[in-house]
Amino acid sequence: RFSVVQTAPPDSILGLTEAFNADPNPDKMNLSVGVYKDESGKTPVLKSVKEAEKRLIDSETSKGYLSIDGMVEYREDVRRMVFGDAIAGERVAVLQAPGGTGALRVAADFMRTQLPDLRIWIPTPTWANHPAIFSAAELPTSTYRYLGADRTSLDLPGMLEDLRENAATGDAVLLHGCCHNPTGIDPSEDDWKQIAKVIADKQLLPLIDFAYQGFGDGLEQDAVGLRTVLEQVDEAIVCTSFSKNFGLYSERVGAISLVAADAGECEAARSQLKRIVRTNYSNPPRHGGAIVATILADESLTALWKEELEAMRTRITALRESFVQTMESTGKGYDFSFLLRQKGMFSFSGLTPMQVDELKSRHSIYIVGSGRINVAGMSESRMQTLCDAVASVMS
């Protein structure tokens, strides 16, 4: 019977990595995948994580199931990190989830089953898995304008107009909390206020994907947009991922946080979220969440983790600066200074699909077809080589 099954199209980014791995050129560079890399090209285990894991191995006494919504301490950690003091705890239901992706799928199932007739508005462009997850959950999607015509800035008027004129009252809107993937373009604080106002006027439900807290301007600063929205509305869903900021990619650690108008509505929503989890993966994996909770329960481990997070963030900023300067120093008038205004691991470089192709075939430099660059994949020692190659395909 499997003869009826058609081969699914390959994942475009993972396909590039396969091509990269097969490339014999010793000078090849992979700027396509979405993981942080250090100067030597490795994705390290943070020291704070290693230490927490040692403690966990010694102290763990059982592999019994967690509850459907996960560990209590972890949930409290997520609530504090995301909302600070902005929202009363009784209005927030937090569920530990297998990564940001797991959280997004639970959110999508929740909206589809509990809020019929709702459609979700997603930015163009957005992370490719967003429309895929919503489609898998049979949640209708529409798009709003996000990237400006210059491909380096936010089209705020277009975004506001689409949400104001085209979205129906009560629809949902997907927002990237910070470090927009794939463009690196975030709203300013003032932009967030205007976005929040439209959301409030149209009674839209914000679904905030928060996968890069701490990679933009810092842990607290990166939450400003989300908290600005929450000043104007009393309902929201936030999907957290700790894959990037704790470097816990393979441990699948994230959370879904639902903010309700009052404690009663919050409890009803929590019960439905738990039902969705029960029929998807039953309960979340323990290890990743336990690592986060162990780090955040210990002052010195927390300080070490914050230092390590800050080091990742500042390395990315330094690479942005170095790339811009090195391109400028080629003397051909290449101005990439817009990269300095973009946040997080990714940026839209403005390179065309043809230039991206040429970088791959002539220089073994791998970039996603849209021109999205993983800045963290650059290295200081090979910056000149990279910029020479970029300059050569642009000339």
Answer whether 206's CB lies under 8 Å from 233's CB.
Answer: yes
244 included as an active-site residue: yes
Query: Quick check: 395 and 334 in contact, CB under 8 A?
Result: no
The Cα–Cα gap between 208 and 211 comes to 9
- Of 93, 96, 133, 94, the C-alpha closest to 112 is 133
Can you spell out the DSSP letters for 341-366?
G--SSEEE----HHHHHHHHHHH-EE
Which has the closest alpha carbon to 186: 215, 206, 143?
Answer: 215
- Chain residue at closest Cβ approach to ligand PMP: 99
Minimum separation from the CB atom of position 292 to ligand PMP (A): 12
How far, in Å, CA of 112 to CA of 276, rounded? 11
Active site residue 305: no
Cβ neighbours, 10 Å, residue 153: 15
Q: Which tokens belong to 130?
A: 């967003």
Tell me if residue 209 is catalytic. yes
Annotated catalytic residue within 69, 171, 209, 222: 209
Residues lying near ligand PMP in the complex (CB under 6 A) are found at 34, 99-101, 127, 176, 181, 209, 211, 241, 243, 249, 254
Q: Residue 247: in which H helix or E strand, if any?
A: none
Lookup result for tokens 């396509």: 32
Closest by CA to 235, choosing from 191, 196, 271, 290, is 196
Q: Which is nearer to ligand PMP, 283 or 355 (CB)?
A: 283
Distances (CA, A) of 243 to 11, 35, 102: 20, 9, 12
Catalytic residue among 244, 305, 343, 360: 244
Is residue 192 classed exposed, middle or buried when 0-12, 13-18 and 19+ CB atoms within 10 A define those classes? Answer: buried
Per the listing, tokens 């097969």 go with 22
- Closer CB to ligand PMP, 125 or 349, in the complex: 125
Q: Which of 77, 121, 127, 305 is catalytic?
A: 127
Smallest Cα–Cα separation from 359: which of 122, 7, 19?
Answer: 19
Minimum CB–partner distance for residue 381 and ligand PMP (Å): 26
The smaller minimum CB distance to ligand PMP, of residues 102 and 230, is found at: 102
Strand partners, 257: 94, 238
Active site residues: 127, 209, 244
